[in-house]
Structure 1
Amino acid sequence: MRQDGDAVNVPACFISSHEGFLGSIKNFIKDFVVTEIDINGQQVNQEAAEGCASAYKPSETTARFPQNNHSFVSHNSYVSADCGIDVALPSPGSFDLGVILGQSVSDELEQFVLTLKDEKATQQELSLGSFSDKHHRANVHRAVRHRFPFLMTVTIQPEIRVREDPDYRELSQLVTEDEAEDFFRFIDAKVRGSSYTFGADDDKDHRTAVHHFLSRRFGKLVETKSFSDQGSTAISVRLRERGRPKKRSSDERKEEEVYTAFTLHKENLETLEAISYMAAALGVLPSDFTYAGIKDKRAITYQTMVVKKVSPQRLKEKRAEFEKRGMRLTQVRSVSEPLRLGRLQGNHFDLVVRDLRPHSSSDAPASGAERHTRLAALVKEAVENVKDRGFVNYYGPQRFGTGQSVQSDRVGLALLKEDMVSAVRLFFTPEDVDDPQSNAKRHFLQTDNAKESLALMPLSKARERLMLRALNRYGTNADGCAQAWLSLPHGMRVFYPHAYCSRVWNDAVAHRLTTLGHSARRGDLVWMQEGQSKADEAGESSSVQIHVVTDQEEQSGVYTLGQVLMPMPGNTVKYPENAMGTWYQERLARDGLDNCRFRVGSLKLNLPGCYRLLLATPHNLTYQLQRGGGGGGGGGGDVMGERKQDMISLTLNFDLDSSCYATICLREIMKCDV
């Protein structure tokens, strides 16, 4: 049964006609366990399961970032391929200028900062007052530089004065003001082994100018290099070790080539959020972590990762710290290369569905034994159908962002139409609830005041705060809104157009099944090669040879529905050569994208598209029915007047190929939204 707040994002079109049943999932975190299956077909948690005497329970200690580390985590750390996430940033409460300076001086400092933006301003320096205690002076220096990294603090004992840092002014002419501020925070923190990455910059001459400036002004403190990531180039800045020469030695180059693999066990934590925690603690870039796929947040998950430039011993030393944040690292070992995205066979799922009951209350037998018999028959029929016929390979609700008043695909459509203002306003559409995030969004839509909305927005809402900061700086017109989108990491920006394309794919599949039936038809697309691996066949591919089914092949039944591919819209894909080709054209035209090139140059977005199998099939599917809620308690309260011990739960265990959604498989089994 659909969870509260979730939106129905998937068409009501199924591949089989069994009756199904009702129930609830994810009542508890332990009801949804995901274990990665590596390229050799092995579950990655096997050694961990054998080597642990008791089940892992995360510490109840509140997870916090090391102070300041968030400022020099690569922007790419806040990226999710399939779902938007909110990254919890550390509280700057210890840097409250109103407390440290007094409210009147703090207000005066704020006004001084505003005058610096006026080039005609004559006031170039401000006194913050005298501070006799050296510890108080130290706190003032730290607090002012944290809040305003573009200011210099000077002590003329016991007085502290502030003025604009000329280096900041010069750097802000080369990069965005946000990047300049974050860079100066990074420099001020001087955390050993830390690094900072500027935003993507494909202009080589411009990168050279940035390199030269950083070398000239900070060459003794940092070293810089350009690196490529996901088709874009960016500059990374790393603090030098004490006494470290500018040029890397052969030993240091070898250190760059160190790779350590491990199994990450996380609970109720997003994959990329976990990476940002680990990167900050280890002093490396989030991009130094590689993985085969992103796992669910509201679940217990096991997956393999590889981190670059970190030895196994150093990683083991951090394991206790990571456990406090809901992560456990096992099977730590040296490897020779990073992981590649998609380098897995799939995932194993252990799910519990609670409070089972028939779709129609009139079908519910009076006695518990009769009800169990009835549900057992429904479950057996459903499982056997899905074993034999598979399920429609829809993108799951998390692809579109659950619980949102405006779904992510609508934001993506506005971006593809390059309507930046509409995209921003859709992004800030609030939920119909009275919470701080919705109130801040509501205030922005009503007032267009980004500064006031930023003050209302919770610190944990990283994406919204990045956007509001940019809107405050650049304005809320079309250019300002484009700058606001550019303030988000590339992976986060591209998530929204991908969500739109996924919605089109889901709708295309439902229309294809409704109008052309459940067999391969002339003009459908299929794989050209035979004998491809399951990993390739499972989900998406943009580099496969495509064959168009001929009339003779349709008549002879050469291909089955399970071999049919449907394209995700993009600028490199081929569309079906039957009625579905026309459907795609009409759908895109109806959405105002008939001339769309699936590129948004101003936001550096390019969507080539891909192909995805219309059907997916679970492997090794087993199930078990239990009375009494499956040992974990039911959803609470009575169901149709029954006692809790009479409730029935279903345990399901199965494997899915990569890029397939367990919730969609379960939806086909149960014949209801989950």
Structure 2
Amino acid sequence: MEEDTDFRIKFSSLCYINDHVGFCGTIKSSPSDFVVIEIDEQGQLVNMVSDEPLNKIHSIPYQPNTFAKKPKLNRQNLTFEEPNQELDTLTKCLGGDPDLQSGLKSEDTNKDGTLKCAEEKADVLGSLLDEKTNELLSQFACDTKEKWNCTTELFGPPPEFSLGRILDKTQRASLHSAVRQKFPYLITVGKNSEIIVKPNQEYKELCHLVSEEEAFDFFKYLDAKKENSRFTFKPDTNKDHRKAVHHFVNRKFGNLVETKSFSELNGNAAHPNVVITVKFREKAHKHKKRSLLESQERKVVYTAFTLQKENLEMFEALGFLAVKLGVIPSDFSYAGLKDKKAITYQTMVVRKVTPERLKSIDKEIENKRMKMFNIRSVDDSLRLGQLKGNHFDIVIRTLKRKNNDSAHLEERILEAIENVKDKGFVNYYGPQRFGKGRKVHTDQIGLALLKSEMMKAVKLFLTPEDSDDPVNRAKKYFLQTEDVKGTHSRMPEFKVRERAMLESLNRFGMTEEGCVQAWFSFPHSMRIFYIHAYSSKIWNEAASYRLATYGSRVVEGDLVCLDGNVDDELLPNSKVHTVTKEEESTNAYGIHQVVLPVLGYNIQYPKNKVGEWYHEILSRDGLQTCRFKVPALKLNAPGCYRQILKYPHNLSYQLKDEQDTAVKTKDPCISEAPLSLLISFDLDSSCYATVCLREIMKQDV
């Protein structure tokens, strides 16, 4: 097989969105020509050492009395009432009913009638959230109750209010409990370290069976989770009604609590008062509580650091660091993968390694073109996608016009950059995701894994390139002989993944089951990477087909995102809408809102020719019945949605000659010195700079 000719043809055939001519140039002449710096969730470049605590809470405000499709808004232009009104707001949200307030248990109230628990939780919330967010949370709670009490039918998804991302586990747990205790008619949901507050529909449902006072106290009881405590509903003589309450509690919370009815003596033997008592189920195994000192000794250590690497594949870097630190590659976590042929900066977190231990290997890793800095202790690991994006500083060398183009080079460059700046670029996955320049691409391995062809996947992984070096000589020997032990002895030590797979094959044998075990020598993030690579390749082809078929207009059956801020990993099906014929005729949506599914078991397809195309491709690849789960490897791919178009941010550029001086002539193409373009921009997470440059230059890079 020749060097990825087929892949180049396929990638070159992908559509563009802009119609400018473009220009020619050379990308990645050296790693220093392509600098990638991660942008963290707070919008800071990770190569800038900061003393700011990693776990600072950044909250996203809620606009009061607004239940639109975009409840997360910027704080600008919002006005706030006087602070310290949480308890008044709570009283109002309870309906302002004197009977309801007086019906609360005496031990839960102060002499002035205010709620003890509310005051305590207000203190907790005040210590975790800033004053404005606290005020907006109270207003959100009040608006939720007003919406429930409204007689007019309301449409659209339930409102949400984000408290922002809280990286500290302890702070998150405290905040979850504080909100639920103060506002039992709200629920909190964790989503990638972000806490989302929503109306508690179960609370509303219970209010149809019992008084609001009882519902309020019942949900506070549930959230408190006090061992051996009990909750009792008001006496009830109606057997059918009691049965309905029993069924509700057991259906919704039966795994947590149990209910029983008890008769009360009221002097009426024919119609005795009966109360329903709720208590927490006993745990099957009660463990002794560890002492504080013992707990501290057993606490997992997490150390964060910024990794700078040059011309080094990320998995190879992780393998080397793991060997030096005496841990395994899966002990490292990161927010995103980075290019190989580049200088990259990214945040990483390693488990079970102290900052002092990490600093001790600083000199050793410099020989592998790596550096570490901003080393500090943190409370948890990182997750993929836990970043705002990436900043790129790129040099494009040997600039020239396209063949038969008589326009000035500077004009072509300006036209191309401004076009992409205004109209965006097709959000393809970049060639590096598939192993650019290799005989076997990662998507081919992913397809074999999805079809449970484990031995084929192993052989694809160990397929050599044409170059004659120790690594490829070892791979050629393996394919010729299947001598695992001999191949392992020939494989250089720095090829950590290959050696790990060979060690596993030597132990379990070169069989289908042995190959399954061999894949377990890779961490989960690496195994699922190959599945994602196949899904990414199909997404690229789907996006190109969609644009070739329908162009930039939004048509019936397209999928559009109803939320202004699309997060590819988190966008639920409820936020995806299928365009109707009427919406097509009124141009209700723009092409920037169109999304396409990344293959998985929990996605929906467009209801037009694009959806048909997806099914044809799956049939072509033998995946028509695939559920995108590989039980043997414990891999599940739920799928997600990805916007067709993306836009570069903070884009700037400058032309320079080989002497590194800025070009001032109006027609730089007449200069004898070769020209270079210095271009800088930011991209959202999961976007590829090479794809943006491809759209600008109109050439594969």
TM interval, shorter chain, is 0.5 to 0.7
1:278/1:451 CA distance change after superposition, 3 Å: closer
- Displacement of 1:469: 3.8
Query: Structure 2 CA distance, aligned partners of 1:472 and 1:281?
Result: 24
Matched, 1:612 2:649: no
Matched, 1:655 2:657: no
Which of 387, 391, 396 is the matching residue for 1:348? 391
- Displacement of 1:544: 5.2
Identity %: 54
1:276/1:424 CA distance change after superposition, 3 Å: closer
Which of 631, 635, 654 is the matching residue for 1:624? 654
Is contact 2:23-2:412 (8 Å) kept?
yes
Which of 583, 597, 601 is the matching residue for 2:613? 583
Amino acid at match of 2:633: L
Amino acid at match of 2:439: S
SS at match of 1:622: strand
Is contact 1:354-1:629 (8 Å) kept?
no
Instruction: Show the counterpart of 2:292.
Output: 250
Query: Structure 2 CA distance, aligned partners of 1:17 and 1:631?
Result: 31
Is contact 1:572-1:609 (8 Å) kept?
yes
TM-score (norm 1): 0.61
Query: Structure 2 CA distance, aligned partners of 1:336 and 1:302?
Result: 21
Instruction: Show the counterpart of 1:406.
Output: 440
Structure 1 residue ranges without an equivalent (≥5): 50-246, 365-372, 633-641
- Displacement of 1:673: 0.8
1:629/1:554 CA distance change after superposition, 3 Å: farther
SS at match of 1:481: helix
- Displacement of 1:288: 4.8
Is contact 1:628-1:644 (8 Å) kept?
no
Which of 427, 449, 455 is the matching residue for 1:393? 427
Amino acid at match of 1:291: Y
Amino acid at match of 2:515: C
Which of 304, 308, 312 is the matching residue for 1:265? 308
- Displacement of 1:272: 4.4
Alignment of 1:55-74 (within 5 A): none
Is contact 2:573-2:603 (8 Å) kept?
no
Which of 12, 34, 43 is the matching residue for 1:41? 43
1:496/1:383 CA distance change after superposition, 3 Å: same
Q: 1:427-474 deviations in whole A, cap 9, x for unaligned?
A: 333323333333333333333433443343333333333333444444
Query: Structure 1 CA distance, aligned partners of 2:366 and 2:23?
Result: 39
- Displacement of 1:493: 2.5
Amino acid at match of 1:346: G
Is contact 2:542-2:614 (8 Å) kept?
yes
Is contact 2:4-2:439 (8 Å) kept?
no
Higher mean Cα deviation, 411-420 or 375-384?
A: 411-420
Query: Structure 1 CA distance, aligned partners of 2:677 and 2:446?
Result: 37
- Displacement of 1:261: 3.9
Instruction: Show the counterpart of 2:335.
Output: 292
- Displacement of 1:307: 4.4
SS at match of 1:511: helix
Instruction: Show the counterpart of 1:553.
Output: 583
Is contact 1:391-1:615 (8 Å) kept?
yes
Which of 570, 573, 596 is the matching residue for 1:541? 570
Amino acid at match of 1:466: A
Is contact 1:621-1:654 (8 Å) kept?
yes
Q: 1:595-640 deviations in whole A, cap 9, x for unaligned?
A: 11112222222221111111111001111111127479xxxxxxxx
Matched, 1:27 2:29: yes
SS at match of 2:339: coil
Instruction: Show the counterpart of 1:664.
Output: 691
- Displacement of 1:342: 1.8
SS at match of 2:408: helix
Query: Structure 2 CA distance, aligned partners of 1:281 and 1:328?
Result: 14
Q: 1:16-39 deviations in whole A, cap 9, x for unaligned?
A: 011111111111221111111121
Is contact 2:320-2:496 (8 Å) kept?
no
- Displacement of 1:308: 4.9
Is contact 2:305-2:375 (8 Å) kept?
yes
Query: Structure 2 CA distance, aligned partners of 1:288 and 1:486?
Result: 15
1:48/1:40 CA distance change after superposition, 3 Å: closer
Is contact 1:629-1:648 (8 Å) kept?
no
Instruction: Show the counterpart of 1:415.
Output: 449
Is contact 1:538-1:613 (8 Å) kept?
no
Query: Structure 1 CA distance, aligned partners of 2:695 and 2:444?
Result: 26
1:383/1:592 CA distance change after superposition, 3 Å: same
Query: Structure 2 CA distance, aligned partners of 1:357 and 1:623?
Result: 16
Instruction: Show the counterpart of 2:79.
Output: none
Q: Which has the higher contact order (CA 8 A, sep 6+)?
A: 1
Instruction: Show the counterpart of 1:566.
Output: 596
Query: Structure 1 CA distance, aligned partners of 2:291 and 2:644?
Result: 52
Which of 443, 464, 478 is the matching residue for 1:444? 478
- Displacement of 1:321: 4.7
Query: Structure 1 CA distance, aligned partners of 2:4 and 2:614?
Result: 33
Query: Structure 2 CA distance, aligned partners of 1:550 and 1:497?
Result: 32
- Displacement of 1:542: 5.2
1:457/1:289 CA distance change after superposition, 3 Å: closer
1:405/1:582 CA distance change after superposition, 3 Å: same
1:597/1:334 CA distance change after superposition, 3 Å: closer
Amino acid at match of 1:408: T
Instruction: Show the counterpart of 2:286.
Output: none
SS at match of 1:672: coil
Which of 345, 352, 364 is the matching residue for 1:302? 345
Instruction: Show the counterpart of 1:329.
Output: 372
SS at match of 1:646: coil
Is contact 2:330-2:524 (8 Å) kept?
no
How many residue pairs are counted as aligned between the two chains?
A: 453
- Displacement of 1:282: 4.8
Q: 1:361-402 deviations in whole A, cap 9, x for unaligned?
A: x447xxxxxxxx821011001001100111111111111112
Amino acid at match of 1:478: E
Q: 1:197-243 deviations in whole A, cap 9, x for unaligned?
A: xxxxxxxxxxxxxxxxxxxxxxxxxxxxxxxxxxxxxxxxxxxxxxx
Query: Structure 2 CA distance, aligned partners of 1:6 and 1:662?
Result: 22
1:292/1:251 CA distance change after superposition, 3 Å: farther
Is contact 2:27-2:395 (8 Å) kept?
yes
1:327/1:552 CA distance change after superposition, 3 Å: same
Amino acid at match of 1:345: K
Is contact 1:538-1:659 (8 Å) kept?
no
1:414/1:317 CA distance change after superposition, 3 Å: closer
Instruction: Show the counterpart of 1:522.
Output: 556
SS at match of 1:46: coil
Higher mean Cα deviation, 661-670 or 515-524?
A: 515-524
Instruction: Show the counterpart of 1:74.
Output: none
1:274/1:42 CA distance change after superposition, 3 Å: same
Is contact 2:557-2:606 (8 Å) kept?
yes
TM-score (norm 2): 0.59
Is contact 1:540-1:613 (8 Å) kept?
no
SS at match of 2:392: strand
